[in-house]
Chain A
Amino acid sequence: MHYVGFALQWLMKALAVVLAITVLNFLIVRLAPGDPAIVMAGEAGAADSQFLAQVRKDFGLDRPIYVQLATYVGKVLTLDLGRSYRTRRPVGDMLLERLPATLLLTGTAYIFALIVGALLGAIAAAKAHTFLDSVLTAVALVFYATPIFWVGLLLILVFSVQLGWLPPFGMHSLIPVKGTLWQMLDTLKHLVLPALTLGLFYVAVYVRLTRASMLDTASLEYVKTARAKGLPEWRVLTAHILRTALIPIITFAGMQAGNLVGGAIVVETVFAWPGIGRLAFDALFQRDYNILLGVFLISALMVVFFNMLTDLAVRVADPRVGSRT
């Protein structure tokens, strides 16, 4: 496997894609009516032309678009994502502060969904067309069909309001807990409900995908050979059917991984989770272009990175890919 060639190819592609995205996003974001100065004036309940002119001059909003674009791309290449109009803080810092929260939430939900979903999907496929199968598929469908925020609010109502087992929102409890271990435990306790809300939807997706993929693989000829060899059913199911059925699932999971950034806005809103999904949402309404572009950039990098990872994973899982004689 010529890894150098592969890595080089990925690097070139990543750079080109990210640059193209940055430019296009820069232009798209500016299409939204109004600008940060108006928003800040609105919030302050006070403004005069000098205030508006001041804000716009400070951030070069008064200069022509292409000049703004050139400066922005120039800065991005030096890893400087510009500053937020509202808080005047460097966007890089703001994103770094909030990225771990998003990755923790979406990462946990993603892994939980992948494992539980694939497992349940495999069971449903193994027991295809039995009662258990229809129950699992029905439950998967229900979670696939219910709006995420609705599930979130219901979970809060049941588990934190009525039963009081879990905190309803936020990432840490109010009185800062001492000791890293306790803090970790505290964050985990806060993580359960939001990760569950986000996870349940994706569990449903993976159950259906795994089941269909396994049923497809089961009808292939070599499964019959495996049985003709007298292998026990569990061996046939795992080593032969599941092993190959995983390949389309890995591809799908790779695609989903790229979308981890934006996927959690609704959950971050309901659970007051300090992630960059909600940051992007607020930035959009505050027309804080640089933050929005920063989030888009991170998301683009993650998509390109995970695509590469998926390519690698698929090549490992399915040696036929890429080394066909």
Chain B
Amino acid sequence: MKTSLSRSGSCLAVALALVGLVLFEAGHAAAQPTRGGTLNSTLWPEPPGIVIGIHLNAPTLLPSSKIFEGLLTYDFDLKPQPMLAETWQVSSDGLTYTFHLRHNVNWHDGKPFTSKDVVFSLTKFIPEVHPRSRPTFQRADVSAPDDYTVVLKLKEPYGPMIRSLDVISAPIVPAHIYEGTNYRDNPANRHPIGTGPFKFDEWKSGQYIHLVRNNDYWQKGKPYLDDIYYRFIPDSASRALALEQGEVQLATQNDIELVDVARLKKLPNLRVDTKGWEWGSPISWLEMNLRRAPFKDVRFRKAVMYALDRNFIRDSIFFGMAKVATGPIHSSSPFYTSDVPTYPYDPQKAKALLDEMGLKPDANGIRVKVSLLGLPYGELWDRLSQYIKQALGQVGIEVTLEPSDVAGWGNRIANWDVDMSTTYLTTLSDPALGVARTYISENQKKGVLFTNTSGYSNPEVDRLFAEAAKEPDQAKRKELYTKVQKILVDDVALAWLVELQWPTIYDARLKNVIHNGLGPNDNFADVYFEK
């Protein structure tokens, strides 16, 4: 049942939708999930692969999270919810985690799902291919007393463990397919076998990935959708057009330029939801290379913070799809604190600080010349770099923009060959997982991206992060992380700009699209087209 929205232009669509709306309101209570329908979603760039772990690119996660499942999933407050694990217990000393697996769950090829698969995934598959979760699971000894029970033993308590068992951090893969093979070159990677609500059907290069319903799914009666098409459309304007005309019913993350989202929001046949990024908690910042002259001095970094109007960035660059970031930890995290120094937009203060440093403006008002390597991820980030150049220019810091492509950008940042650069990074569900790596001294590894490339080093911060990671008591961890946030913000380790709230845009008749912390990376078992 393809949506029959006629193509005669948006005015007709408005009329139809209005009628639909009225019906919807009336029959709300009685709305029963209806079965059937094809979901078309945009997906760009075309993912390199479709098995989580072997590839961690955002475009891989979207389709793959419908095929594979993790032991747990997380709600909007990042509280663990059951998935492949029906129930679980954590020992008081935080060293032993016991999971009781669901019975009668089968892989897409019909083979039964047992604890052997979990042990293989956590001890062999993930440490081998999954760079982010490798350190987490190297801490645990995993054993399977029987077919449906798995026990993790830790040497020392590890706070983030309970929040690292989702399908993205810990995908459960079929042991009978991967055991003993070269995981990266296993032919199954091209047509993966999972336990999830949708099975892989076909991948036409340059065109689409097609998933079909898994009729033998362990949640009876689910999924409601017949099949899902992920269509590769290279041009963002074309993607917006497809959404508007109903050829596509779902667009996620930065498929659609934020300026278009503001326009699409007003259309009656579309809904926009910015929730669902709690698990990822992406933050965008301006990184300064502390190994180089002007950035060493904290006053210069404070001047930069004062010179940037982060409200303008939120409203005119991200068109409101963002929240001003106050510090290194995302506001949706339980360990977040707003009790940190603030840097309102105050160019005069910035100039005062620069004068204090002895950087006097020359004949045409230039105090110092620096360069900025902007994130080359499309037109949105170009505008951000343009704004930073202009804003800093007003306080006498002349910025030269260094255009580059992704490979050049990654290469120069990893090798510290840059003055300033803009980027964004997911801080994940736990500071120990996604935040510490950017600030602790021992994670300064030349040539490796997303490490402590800014060169910030503060023994006190290192100590606090180490302690917080091992502390089993959540309240104690919050206290430690609050101290760390105060130091980092006062030190302006980075010029945090905004917390990103990527919009998910979907057809008004699509229900349960964003209903937990994983957002669009949920397995869509509960998604359905309302009649």
Q: Which B residues, 25 to 80, have Cβ-Cβ distances below 8 Å to chain A?
A: 38, 40, 45-46, 48-49, 55-58
Contacts of B231 in A (CB 8 A): 170, 174
**A residues near B56, Cβ cutoff 8 Å:** 43-46
List the B side residues contacting A86 at CB < 8 Å: 48-49
A175 to B40, CA, bound (A): 10
Q: Does A125 contact B (CB under 8 A)?
A: no
By size class, the interface of chain A is 35 or more
Q: Is A98 an interface residue (CB 8 A)?
A: yes
Beta-carbon contacts under 8 Å, A32-52 to B: 32-36, 38-52
Q: How far is the CA of A36 from the CA of B407 in the complex (A)?
A: 7
A313 to chain B, nearest CB (A): 32
Q: Which of B131, B248, B411 contacts A44 (CB 8 A)?
A: B131
B235 touches A94 (CB 8 A): no
Say yes or no: B131 contacts A48, CB within 8 Å.
yes
For B185, list chain A residues within 8 Å (CB). Answer: 88
Set B8, B242, B426: member contacting A45, Cβ < 8 A = B426
1/0 per residue, CB under 8 A from B, across A280-296: the answer is 00101111000000000
Residues of chain B within 8 A of A271, CB atoms compared: 235, 238
Task: Using A50-B131, A88-B184 as known contacts, say yes or no to A161 and B241 having CB atoms under 8 A apart.
Answer: yes
Q: Which of B7, B134, B235, B242 has the most CB of A within 10 A?
A: B235
Q: With A34-B408, A168-B238, A272-B235 as known contacts, state yes or no: A98 contacts B450, CB within 8 Å.
A: no
In angstroms, Cα B49 to Cα A43, docked, is: 12
Q: In the complex, are the beta carbons of A169 and B411 less than 8 A apart?
A: no
Contact B238 A286 (CB under 8 A): no
Q: Is the CB of B205 within 8 A of A274?
A: yes
A97 touches B205 (CB 8 A): yes
- Stretch in B380-388, B441-449, B483-491 touching the partner: B441-449
Q: B275 at interface (Cβ–Cβ under 8 A)?
A: no
User: Do B7 and A164 touch (CB < 8 A)?
Assistant: yes
* Chain A: CB-nearest residue to B131: A51
Q: How far is the CA of A50 from the CA of B414 in the complex (A)?
A: 15
How far apart are the CA atoms of A272 and B238 in the complex, in Å? Answer: 8
**A120 close to B (CB within 8 Å):** no
The answer to whether residues A101 and B445 also contact, given A44-B57, A169-B238 and a CB cut-off of 8 A, is no
Q: Do residues A52 and B234 form an inter-chain contact, with CB atoms below 8 A? A: no
A275 at the interface (CB under 8 A from B): yes
Cα separation A49 to B409 with both chains bound (whole Å) = 18
Taking the closest CB of chain B, its distance from the CB of A111, in whole angstroms, is 23
Q: Given A98-B205, A162-B9, A38 and B414 touching (CB < 8 A)?
A: yes
A171 within 8 A of B: yes
Q: Mark A37-77, 1 if CB is under 8 A from B, else 0.
A: 01111111111111110000010000000000000000000
**A240 in contact (CB, < 8 A):** no
Cβ contacts under 8 Å, A41 to chain B: 410, 414, 448-450
A-B contact pairs, 6 of them (CB 8 A): A38-B414, A43-B406, A48-B451, A98-B205, A153-B237, A174-B2
- B residues in contact (CB < 8 Å) with A: 2, 7-9, 38, 40, 45-46, 48-49, 55-58, 131-132, 134, 184-185, 189-190, 204-207, 229, 231-235, 237-238, 241-242, 245, 247-248, 404-412, 414, 425-426, 445, 447-451
A-B contacts besides A86-B49, A156-B238, A169-B241, 18 pairs, CB < 8 Å: A32-B408, A33-B407, A38-B407, A40-B55, A42-B449, A43-B406, A49-B445, A52-B447, A169-B238, A175-B38, A269-B234, A270-B235, A270-B238, A272-B233, A274-B207, A275-B206, A282-B45, A285-B406
The 3 closest A-B pairs by CB, nearest first: A274-B206, A34-B407, A34-B411
